[in-house]
Structure formats: C-alpha cells, structure tokens
Amino acid sequence: MCGIVGYVGNNNAQKVIVSGLHRLEYRGYDSAGLSLWNPDTGELDTVKTSGKIGELESCLEHELPPGTTRPIGIGHTRWATHGAPNQVNAHPHLSQTGDFSIVHNGIIENYSALKSRLLANGFSFTSDTDSEVLAHLIEQCYDGDLTRAVTAALEQIEGTYGICVISKLHPDKIIAARQGSPIAVGICHNETVIASDISAIVQHTDRVVFLNDGDILTATADDTEILSHKNVPIAREATLIDWDIGQIEKGGFDHFMLKEIHEQPSAIANATRGRLLLKEGTAKLDGMKMTSREISRVDRILIVACGTSLYAAMIGKYLFEDYADIPTEVQQAAEFRYRNPIIEPNTCVLAISQSGETADTLAAVREAMRKGAEVLSICNVVGSTIARETGRGVYLHAGPEIGVASTKAISCQITILTMMALIFGRTHRLSMQKGREIVDYLSQLPKLAQKVLDQETAIQAVADKYASYENAFFIGRGYMYPAALEGALKLKEISYIHAEGYHAAELKHGPIALLNGDVPLIGLALNIPGRNKTCSNLQEARARNTPVIAIATEGHRDIEKHCDDIIQIPECPEFLAPICVIIAEQLLSYYIAKLRGCEIDQPRNLAKSVTVE
C-alpha cells in the first residue's frame, strides 16, 4: 500500500526519486523519506518526515547541501501499519552501523520473534515498525556480498514484502525483492529505475519488468540480474506500457477524480473497442483464452473481489444469471480465502481487481487455483500480479486511475462483465437476436455516459444543498442495489459523510428508525422493474420529514411528487443503468466533498492499492 522508488544511474537520484514519489502520492501515505549515497563523504544521507512529500522536499533543502550529484538512492511513502505515522517510523530504515538502508512494503508477521533475537544479539531499535528488523538482519547476514546478505535475511522472514536495499559498501547497486507486494523495474539506458508502481517509471521508459514472488533483483546503472531465492538466474520478459505521462496529469481539472469521471465515455469506448461482434450477437475477449467448448461446460460462476470491485461483481451476478442462465455467487475475497470454499467441477472463478495487486483477491485466486478451478481475472493494470498469475483474463484498457476513489474502473468493470455474460450466454442459450440487442446497447454506452456528464451543473446544484449533512442513505432494488452500495461508498470515501447503502426493501426492516430531517435519502428510482416499489419507499421517507433525492430516468416527471430534488439520467436498459447511475453518484459525491474542503484525490486513511490484509 506504500510507495517505493529506487534509482541508480548517471543522473541526480534525489530528483528522480522525489519526482517518482510524487507520482505515487495517489496510493495514499502518511510519511515519506529517502536515502542517498553521498560520493563526497561515502555515507548514506537519510532524510525523512511525517506528512506530505512537500514537507520532505523542505527538509531536503535544509539537510542536504546542494551541488553534490548523488547517483543512487531509495525513497518511500509510508501508509502506517506498525507504529504511528511519525518521522521515526518513516522509511527508509538504517541498520545499526548505518551501512545499509532499506524501504519495505508489506508486513513481517514474525517480526516480534526476530526483534527479540536481534535485541539479544546486541542490536538496538529506534522505531516501532516491523520493517527495521529487516535492516538489522541484512547487516547481521552480510559477509561481503550484498545480494547474498539480502537473500539470507529474507529467508528468515514470514509475511509479505516488496523491498529495495542500498549500502554504502556497494554504492553502485540496488537490491530489490518481492513476496506478495509489487516491484517493477524500468529498462532504461545507463540507469535503472525501480518502483512499486509503473506510474513512477513511465516518465523514464515504456519497457518494464515485473518481479514475481521469490525474485531477487540486483541492479546497477548498466545491468540487471534476477535470481530466485535458490540463487538460480531467471529471465523475465519486459512488458510494453501502452500509456504515457500525460495520462497521469490532471489535464486542467481540479482533481484527478474529476478528470477520471469525465474520462468514462472514452474509457468505456476503449473497453469495448474491437470486442463487440454485432453480426454474431456476441463479443470477443481474447484474454479469456477459453474455447466455446470450455465455456459451455461452465455451470457455476464464483466472483471474488473487494471494495468497489465487489459491487461490480454483484452487478455481474445479475448479468450472468439473467443472460447466461448460470448460477453465480459473489464472495468478498478475504471471506473466500479463509472459508475453505467449495469448488465444484465446472466452476469458473472470476477475480476482479482494478490494481491487480489486491492482497485478499490475489490470495483468493491462489486458493481457487489450488482447488483446481478455472480462474479468470478482470484487471486494469497491465502486468499486475493477478493478471499474470491467472494467465486468463481481460484488461479494462481504462488507462491509469490516479484518484484513490475508483470511478472509471468500475464503469469499465461492469462493461467487461456485460460482455463476458454475453459470451457465456451465447455459448449457452441466449438467442442471436437478444445478443445483437445487447451489443447494440453496449455500442451506445459511451454516449449514454456522456449524457450523464452533461448533467454536471444540475448535479452540482443538488450537491450545494446537501453538503452540510453528516449522514445519508442510498437505496435501490435489483441492479440498483449494488449501485446504491457503491454510491454510499463514494460519498463516505471522499466527503467523510457517514453513508449507508441498502436494498430498498430493507429500509423498513430497521434503518428507517434513523430517518429524520437530518438524514437525506438518495433513492435510485429509474424506469426499470421495481420502480413503483422504490417510489413507495421514497414516500415512506418523506413522511418522516427526510429530504429525498431521486436519481430517475429523464422525462418521467411523476417522480417529482416523491422527492425534493431530482438527478436525471438518460433512458437506458436495466443492465446498463448501474453505469449511468454510478457516474451521477460520482459527480454528486465529488461536489459535496469539494464543498466540504476534503482532500479528494487522497482521502484520509485510504490507499489506492490494498496490498496488505
């Protein structure tokens, strides 16, 4: 969940690392620091601070004299797990002698036992982190070979890690390794850039090598070598990154989140481009790598995901059951991994993760594969661990999503799920005519998304009225139920308003006790099945003086008597309605958060890629 940047080359490592850390700010963090080798003194200069990278830059101006080009270094942004978010607990961590410096993502589960042993051997600790243990272990194992020392230290570790290590004794190399926490290596000329996320690398190169679990990298400016934990050389192919630095700039928008909300028509178009087959009434997703015969044998689908992806999965359940006639179950990925799940023959497990690195979802994938399931994935990040380990899956092609709160990713996830359901349905018993209707609607989806965005000014006006409330409810039925859950999540993520999503029928089974004039209700009352009953729920709320916002289909003005305010979306079929509604909810949440002065792109306590449990 933290950010790592390492550099070795002929340029100024400090400049490269700080720039890279800025690119990783979106992942969420509470402190930052870096270590640089100083060729004038032969020492490691380490500066770190709590707070934002801007504060680190101020510290660097005061603590590191200008004029010295430092050719190697490592940097880190920390999201606190062990120990408070302060300067002492910030990374990098130094060994006792100061000869070695490490940055670490992940959790060392046996750190307490290792720390006790190191204390007994005379080592002292300055932080409350689990990571400092690793710096001391490397020093304890050092015999003149840095790679061998890191390998020996890691053999004692239980848990997850993505690490970079430098030493003043080897000022020409960086050691990196991963186990459950991503590490990417940029293939450049006369320099090597290492990071936990490719967004810190793309300004230097479009060719990236992703480390697998157990890999240990030794990098110099001119060369890289990857070894297994058994010291066996490994060849890893480079991946070509198909997006550029412009895609991770704000492009004139106030926030990345707003930019990414507005990118949804083009993102959806990219997700469907070349994949819709109107004549055959189906879709083509080559990444699935499943023959028609294999698809026809699937008689159960199990979807695993977390967070926003979980709500996309719930919509996927409706899609697979409605259009493919395949019983589908959705499980929270952490629940799946710990419940000893039942995987029956002909079960297909589908993992959904924007980053492709979500720890619980990755663990669920591995458990499903151990149990012999066919496993597919839906990811956005090219070369991510889940995408590589499943080997069968579909990329969203949404482009980088920098805002912590997911926007365009969920729209594209639902779009891909619709195409998957179409493929499965056509292989089972969905008619060609119905398939063609679905394909036609999908081809119109970017225009429908744009029509929602055209309502931005009206949605902003609604946000102006409700920004001061501290609680809210979202309700919906059928396809609108997961959309209600996602709307509540967006509002709480970025505005810090306590928001709850409920099935509309559940409102009277307890939650209605909380409704009053201080708790607005957002009702998803589109012109789709269940609308009349949802309108009844809106009336129940208004009878208790609850302010009601209806998200409704344009042109259906009869909804006005059931609500105080209306957000209109275009007429669309039931299976595409969640995307239109979710875009409207995103805009509503964004403008409420903006009026409340919240830090929208980096909400407190949150991280973009959740790589720890």
Active site residues: 2, 608
- Sheet of 43-50, strands arranged across: 43-50, 31-38, 72-78, 3-9, 191-195, 184-187, 207-210, 239-240
Give CA–CA dist 330/39, Å, rounded.
56
Any idea what DSSP says for residue 42? T
How many residues are recorded in the chain? 613
Q: Which residues pair with 466 in a beta bridge?
A: none
Say how many CA atoms lie within 13 Å of 49 toward its Cβ: 13
Give CA–CA dist 476/537, Å, rounded.
10
Contact 387, 395 (CB under 8 A): yes
Give CA–CA dist 41/290, Å, rounded.
59
User: Which has the closest alpha carbon to 56: 102, 21, 80, 100?
Assistant: 21
- Residue 346, classified by CB atoms within 10 Å of its CB into exposed (0-12), middle (13-18) or buried (19+), is middle
Judged by DSSP in three states, 47 sits in strand
Give CA–CA dist 4/103, Å, rounded.
7
Give CA–CA dist 609/295, Å, rounded.
31
Say how many CA atoms lie within 13 Å of 205 toward its Cβ: 18
Give CA–CA dist 299/326, Å, rounded.
6
* Pairing of β 207-210 and β 184-187: antiparallel
- Residue 61, classified by CB atoms within 10 Å of its CB into exposed (0-12), middle (13-18) or buried (19+), is exposed
Q: Which residues pair with 76 in a beta bridge?
A: 4, 33
Give the CA angle between residues 510, 515, 521 to the nearest 5°: 105
Is the previous residue joined to 92 through a cis bond, with omega within 30 degrees of 0?
A: yes
Give CA–CA dist 261/139, Å, rounded.
48
Give CA–CA dist 125/93, Å, rounded.
10
Residue showing tokens 């087959």: 277
Contact 204, 197 (CB under 8 A): no
Any idea what DSSP says for residue 567? E
Give CA–CA dist 590/7, Å, rounded.
36
Residues in contact with 62: Cβ distance below 8 Å, sequence separation at least 6, in sequence order: none
Judged by DSSP in three states, 523 sits in strand
Q: Identify the helix (H) or strand (E) that includes residue 534.
A: helix 531-542
Distances 517 to 80, 523, 539, 543 between C-alpha atoms, Å: 38, 16, 14, 10
Give CA–CA dist 236/208, Å, rounded.
10
Q: Identify the helix (H) or strand (E) that includes residue 412.
A: helix 408-427
